[in-house]
Every structure is written in structure tokens, then in C-alpha cells.
Amino acid sequence: MTKGIIRTTVAAAATVAFAAISVTPASAATARNGICEVGEFCLYWGQNRSGSVSDFATSIPNYGDNQPTCYEYKTPNLPGYGLCVKNNATSAWNRRSSTVTVYFNSNYGGASDPVGAGQARDLASTYANNASHLL
């Protein structure tokens, strides 16, 4: 092989390797942005997925009681915006591929509402009385 062919081959291989490393999924969800995206679990301030939303990508053992340390509703200009999620969520949408369970108590205890994969529903056992969820 000539030096020119070798250099061209090495440069092309390096370009392909770099491109493979730097590719990111175009549809990756951005947790905590107030938009319920694929791959997230979302709690809503109002019934039937109304009002501001709080979107999650992980389990949360304690939503927190007050600002600035609580998980809050993130969608601006909708009812509930800025309020703490704890004891305020009335509906949920599970945009994940497995069941997520909302619990009445912190640390995944007490009464619960399982929300199946892809399911959107009003909460029943934890309606406006919720403190944690487990993915």
C-alpha cells in the first residue's frame, strides 16, 4: 500500500469512529422540563392530565414538603405551576415500558396506585395524598 492510501484509510476510519461515539438519540427525554416525554413518568396537578406537570426519569423516595427542596410542577402558566408535588398530584401518565407505583407515604410505603406501562389515569388510593413513586 502507498502512504497516501494508508493515510486516507486511517483518516476515514477515525472519522467513522468519532461519528459513532458522538451520536446521541434524537428522542431522549429531558427529565424535569415540564413536558411529559416518552420514557418518563409524569404527575399532574389536575385530573385527566390537566394542569402543570412534573416529569421524572427515576424513582423518587420523597417528593419533599416545601420549596426550595421539593419536587415541583414545572409547566408554566398552568394551574399548580411551582407548587410542590407532594400531596398535590391527582393524575399520572406513565410513558415508560413498565409499571410505576405511586405511594401514599415517603419511601414507597402505604396505600398505592400502580400505573401500567403507557397508561394515563386519575389516581385513586393516592389522589392528592402522595409522597413517592417507584419505577
Q: Would you say residue 125 lies in a domain?
A: yes
Distance CA 85, CA 19 (A): 41
Within 10 Å of residue 37's Cβ, how many Cβ atoms? Answer: 15
Q: Which amino acid is at 118?
A: G
- Nearest alpha carbon to residue 87 among 103, 75, 107: 103
Query: Is residue 58 in a domain?
Result: yes
What pLDDT is stored for residue 27 in this prediction? 55
Cα torsion angle, 69, 71, 73, 75, sign: positive
Three cell numbers, residue 47: 385530573
Q: What's the average model confidence in pLDDT over 95-122?
A: 98
Q: Is residue 93 part of a domain?
A: yes
Residue 20 lies in a domain: no
Q: Tell me how many domains the chain contains.
A: 1
Contact 92, 83 (CB under 8 A): no
- The confidence score (pLDDT) of residue 122 equals 98
Give domain status of residue 46, yes or no: yes
Assess whether pLDDT exceeds 80 at residue 33: yes
Centre a 10 Å sphere on the Cβ of residue 105 and count the other Cβ atoms it contains.
Answer: 15
Is there a domain that residue 129 lies in? yes
Average pLDDT, the chain: 85
Pairing of strands 100-105, 109-115: antiparallel
- For residue 45, what is the domain's CATH number? 2.60.20.10
Confidence of residue 30 (pLDDT cuts 50, 70, 90): confident
Convert the pLDDT of each residue in 50-85 to its tens digit. Answer: 999 999 999 999 999 998 899 999 999 999 999 999
pLDDT bracket for residue 125 (50, 70, 90): very high
Which is more confidently placed, 95 or 15?
95
pLDDT of residue 31: 77
Q: Which domain holds residue 99?
A: 41-134
Grid cell digits, residue 135: 419505577
92 located within any domain: yes
Residue 99 lies in a domain: yes
Question: Span 105-124, mean pLDDT?
Answer: 98
Amino acid at 110: G
